[in-house]
Amino acid sequence: MKIALAQLNYHIANFESNTKKIIDVIKNCKRDGCDLVVFSEMNVCGYPALDFLEFDDFISRCLDSVQHIAEHCVGIAAIVGGPSRNPILDGKNLFNSAFFVADGEVQHTVHKALLPTYDVFDEYRYFEPAKEFKCFDYKGFKLAITVCEDLWNLEDDPLYTYCPMDELTKEQPHLMINIAASPFNYMHAETRQQILRKNVTKYGVPLIYVNQVGANTDLIFDGGSLVMDSSGKNILKTQYFEEDIKYIVCEKNEASISLQPTHPQSEIALNVFNTEAVQIERIHSSLILGIRDYFAKMGFSKAVFGMSGGIDSALVYYLSVMALGKENILPVMMPSQFSSDGSVSDSQMMINRLGTKSHIIPIKEIFEHYEKTLQPIFNNAPFNVAEENIQARIRGTLLMAISNKQGYILLNTSNKSELAVGYGTLYGDMCGGLAVLGDLYKTKIYELAKYINRNEEIIPNNIIYKAPSAELRPNQKDSDSLPEYDVLDAVLMQYIENRKSIQEIIAMGFDEALVSRILRMVNNNEYKRYQFAPVLRVSPHAFGLGRRMPLVAKYLG
Amino acid sequence: MKIALAQLNYHIANFESNTKKIIDVIKNCKRDGCDLVVFSEMNVCGYPALDFLEFDDFISRCLDSVQHIAEHCVGIAAIVGGPSRNPILDGKNLFNSAFFVADGEVQHTVHKALLPTYDVFDEYRYFEPAKEFKCFDYKGFKLAITVCEDLWNLEDDPLYTYCPMDELTKEQPHLMINIAASPFNYMHAETRQQILRKNVTKYGVPLIYVNQVGANTDLIFDGGSLVMDSSGKNILKTQYFEEDIKYIVCEKNEASISLQPTHPQSEIALNVFNTEAVQIERIHSSLILGIRDYFAKMGFSKAVFGMSGGIDSALVYYLSVMALGKENILPVMMPSQFSSDGSVSDSQMMINRLGTKSHIIPIKEIFEHYEKTLQPIFNNAPFNVAEENIQARIRGTLLMAISNKQGYILLNTSNKSELAVGYGTLYGDMCGGLAVLGDLYKTKIYELAKYINRNEEIIPNNIIYKAPSAELRPNQKDSDSLPEYDVLDAVLMQYIENRKSIQEIIAMGFDEALVSRILRMVNNNEYKRYQFAPVLRVSPHAFGLGRRMPLVAKYLG
């Protein structure tokens, strides 16, 4: 039996383009002699469809797509993913299902049992968990089909009270097939492979795993679909961060299943090495894909952003040029009376290297008119954060004006460290349609800059090595208001990613007053993040829908 | 047995104040001879605590509070709500629990079985559902204790596959006690009472129901705790929208339980009449409570907002004065060259009536400097939405400057109709810490204005009867860009509240092109709402965490 792993990039709710793409692949695979094409979870509508799933009309369109795809499955079978209706009145009205289609119709439907409802996942919001499990036969193979999380319950402290494969294994399947929509984070490729290997070695059955690829707003799906033999060895692997289709030939021998890829791969391509170097390389690829898909799927092509001479905007500049092409990128320099000399000249150096257009718009005059206008109300009160924020908001207004007038989308350049402690101006530098770096701590920002400069100086060293500053008052430095970034980021990581208590963090050797101050800043700035742009998620705990904190609260305050 | 229903207002994660409040009530009830005080769901930490529940430290603090409260329960018992740890390794690590405390310690712990995971609720994100159910005895009464949603599964299409009371009823309890955190919407008081009555009549057991009161950011809890006898008749009811403690004396007779409130109430106070007049009255109370609690719990006292001469800002003006007192309210008029004569004069008339301070800040000069600054980039391109938005963003920047400089919190004045179709400027009139009217369609805004003016003209009739306009270009009217509000709101209600498909809405008699245009506007503007302030929720489907839509998607596009 020849099986295709079809790792594709879907557009949520775009039934026309998704269905066409699926059917085209089925046609090609049929031409190549495949017996079965395995697609990813919820592929007819794209993942995550979120509350579209609450529209009965949306479910009907999903089921129509499955039907339409089934009509093209003659002489070939396919496994596609989508919602299905729960015929039982009790419980939620939907299942998250895998449809096995062949001979022009749906032959079997398998429902997901383990419904991830944590971090960015909300599946129990929509779906009833499966309680019954059954393998079925195709071309002499007994297949155990599961959906994504169904294989993710072999940890020491499992999230669910049962394991679908424990039931399916009783029927002695020849092959496990898992269809997934498992989003990227810089740890996840390795974790995922370990979990899959645990399943393979526990049940002693080879696995075909197909993941979604492509970005849907904040979530970036990295692909990395694979075939593992029953010993846990990788036999086949698809590309990360791009669409890829690969074939495997499965044969039943007396005691075992032989698995033979049609295009053999090298050992290196087959395995995951989760070094820091690989992490940064993946972050780099994921951000470019994240920008590219946001624009492509929103129907936009051009990006604008404020270029300050700092490292964050330099990175956004480089990444957006890689994602959208230099002809589509517009950096705008908006110096004020507090800007350093390097602010414009360092930016200009990089702009010359990358060769895009750019604008310089000084904001001093507008700022003075705000001051003059507010004078009767402010009554000569001393310059403070109010005036700092006015400058940031003038820049936001200018960038949005260019966006509105000329059809550019504003990219946000905030990093995770400053978002965490609220070191940014709401409606100012926190403007933008997509936050490219919002899940990268400042220390990771530097690592990424060095990665980008690994072969040649793309980002000027001046930009990398200057002391970070918002330049909103004379001689301002980030370190006036914030701890040094290596300390700040280490504390933030413990609190945000690792959910540690203030006592535990202090016990790690950090200064008590400092930890207390940082945690208070994080909690007191939830209100800013609540109104922030979607953040490209690259870590296990990003700001956004995956982190839901009360605004009106008093914890560690 | 004398039982107290303790309907209190909690501050999320403020263990000190919550615990003190609970213990004070227990002391008072003990003094009054009560045997048992029933509090609401999750009351030790406040509801919803959201991802604070993922911090082990937070759980420890909750359990410490329960322990501390228990120490004060000598000669009296209490039922308090909070998270508890699941001792079984499999499944989620927490339960949502009711603790029965007496004799200085926790005597029984009951876990919630039905975990709402829809709309604004995310309970399966944190909790394992209970699978075992047991009544227990206190002072000769067999009590069936459940937590909120546990009673909400008697609908025709139930959300859950089992019913805790079906199990508990086997032990023939004398009393049902349900502790709840059930947020307000203008339909909900009636719905809630119907569901409770269904339980009482199905199981033939009297019910004591205690709900949380008070607002936590977007969610407003209305209270309305009650006692129902086994025939479904209301015997006792607490106040809506305020803290209230009431006592009931329960006695066991041969065949039945007699229930006697210590302070008898009138028939009118006991029942819910869900007329439109009552709905508007409740919306009015809920918004005032919502504003008041947001400020009180955030530790702020003063509110600023832009006053345009339109009905929305007039309502925000009145409601904020009611919530925070006239000395704390600052309306700011910011006329431009496109403002009508009435813009300032109508506002001024209302300001004179309510007697607050105010400012007038013309924006013409700043606007001209933006135009001049952008001239080299815009190259005499015709005036369009870019220039309209600049004006709105100047106003946002001025209001935020006053907020930053003088410690005011900016209230947002957008209504649900304009938020739905994206008729507002992101970072402009969409600025603000709390959206007071964001869950009220424009047609409801008019109803509320008329309710406020029911006895005297508080909001000038000029403001109520003028044609709505954003006044961002000469002679602009909302009706230039939008359908008439009665049609728009009717279509929006079908799509947003009722989840109807485009075909179904057209079949109701609306124009096909119009429906298509409205639904497309709703979908295409998710990105704006994603960055919007928390909205005081008064309807069954508000924008915010209760509505999760993909941004990058193509549905009905």
pLDDT tens, position by position, A331-390: 999 999 999 888 999 999 999 999 999 999 999 999 999 999 999 999 999 999 999 999
Judged against a pLDDT cut of 90, whether residue B273 lies above it is answered with no
Percent of chain B with pLDDT over 70: 100
Judged against a pLDDT cut of 90, whether residue B87 lies above it is answered with yes
Say which residues have a Cβ less than 8 Å from residue A419's Cβ, sequence separation at least 6.
A435, A438, A525, A528, A529, A532, A535, A543
Identity at A175, one-letter amino acid code: L
Per residue, the 3-state secondary structure of B48-103, as one string, reads CCHHHHHCHHHHHHHHHHHHHHHHCCCCCEEEEEEEEECCCCCCCCEEEEEEEEEC
Does the beta-carbon distance from B122 to A122 stay under 8 Å? Answer: yes
Give me the pLDDT at residue B487, please.
Answer: 96
Picking from A57, A122, A504, the nearest residue to B501 by CB comes out as A57
pLDDT digit string (tens) for A462-516? 999 998 998 899 888 888 889 999 999 999 999 999 999 999 999 999 999 999 9
CB of B334 within 8 A of CB of B363?
yes
CB of B477 within 8 A of CB of B469?
yes
Average pLDDT score over residue span A54-75: 97
> For strand B303-306 and strand B136-138, is the pairing parallel, antiparallel, or unpaired?
unpaired
Does the beta-carbon distance from B386 to A405 stay under 8 Å? Answer: yes
Let me know if A41 is a catalytic residue. Answer: yes
Question: Is the pTM value of this prediction over 0.95?
Answer: yes
Contact status of B359 with chain A (Cβ, < 8 Å):
yes
pLDDT digit string (tens) for B462-484? 999 998 998 899 888 888 889 99
Confidence of residue A555 (pLDDT cuts 50, 70, 90): confident
Order of strands across the sheet with A434-435? Answer: A359-360, A329-333, A303-306, A409-412, A434-435
Burial class, B299, CB count within 10 angstroms (exposed 0-12 / middle 13-18 / buried 19+): exposed
Residues 530-549 of A with CB under 8 A from B: 530-534, 545, 547-549
Question: What interface predicted TM-score (ipTM) does this complex get?
Answer: 0.96
pLDDT digit string (tens) for B132-184? 999 999 999 999 999 999 999 998 899 999 999 999 999 999 999 999 999 99
Judged against a pLDDT cut of 80, whether residue A9 lies above it is answered with yes
**Residue A139: count of CB within 10 angstroms of its CB:** 14
The DSSP letter of residue B496 is I
Among residues A294, A309, A307, A351, which one has the least CA distance to residue A326? A351
pLDDT digit string (tens) for B315-331? 999 999 999 999 999 99
Q: Looking at A29, A34, A135, A148, which residue is catalytic? A: A148
Q: Report d(CA A132, CA B513) in Å as an integer.
A: 45
Q: Which residues of A touch B548 (CB under 8 A)?
A: 50-51, 122, 125, 545
Residues 312-351 of A with CB under 8 A from B: none
Does the beta-carbon distance from B552 to A297 stay under 8 Å? Answer: yes
Give me the pLDDT at residue B508, please.
Answer: 97
Confidence of residue A557 (pLDDT cuts 50, 70, 90): low
Confidence of residue B275 (pLDDT cuts 50, 70, 90): confident
Contact status of A394 with chain B (Cβ, < 8 Å):
yes
Give me the pLDDT at residue B86, please.
Answer: 97
Q: Report d(CA A504, CA A493) in Å as an integer.
A: 13
Q: Report d(CA A96, CA A126) in Å as an integer.
A: 9
Does the beta-carbon distance from B554 to A398 stay under 8 Å? Answer: no
Strand (E) or helix (H) holding A88: none
User: CA of A250, closest CA in chain B: separation in Å?
Assistant: 35
Contact status of A522 with chain B (Cβ, < 8 Å):
no
Average pLDDT score over residue span B17-21: 98
Task: Identify from B405, B516, B537 which residue to disrupt to test chain A contact, counting A C-beta atoms within 10 A and taking the largest count.
Answer: B405
HSE at residue A45, side-chain half, CA atoms within 13 A, is 26
Contact status of A524 with chain B (Cβ, < 8 Å):
no
Average pLDDT score over residue span B278-286: 95
Judged against a pLDDT cut of 80, whether residue B430 lies above it is answered with yes
Contact status of B91 with chain A (Cβ, < 8 Å):
yes
Confidence of residue B557 (pLDDT cuts 50, 70, 90): low
Does the beta-carbon distance from B533 to A530 stay under 8 Å? Answer: yes
> For strand A409-412 and strand A175-180, is the pairing parallel, antiparallel, or unpaired?
unpaired
Identity at A369, one-letter amino acid code: H
Burial class, B330, CB count within 10 angstroms (exposed 0-12 / middle 13-18 / buried 19+): buried
Q: What are phi and psi of B141, to 5 degrees?
A: -105, 135
**CATH numbers and ranges of domains, chain A:** 2-274 (3.60.110.10), 278-482+525-530 (3.40.50.620)
Chain-centroid distance, C-alpha A484: 28
Judged against a pLDDT cut of 90, whether residue A285 lies above it is answered with yes
Let me know if A112 is a catalytic residue. Answer: yes
Identity at A423, one-letter amino acid code: Y
Q: Which residues of A touch B14 (CB under 8 A)?
A: 553-554, 557
Burial class, B485, CB count within 10 angstroms (exposed 0-12 / middle 13-18 / buried 19+): buried
Q: Report d(CA B426, CA B389) in Å as an integer.
A: 8
Residues 258-317 of B with CB under 8 A from A: 293-294, 297-298
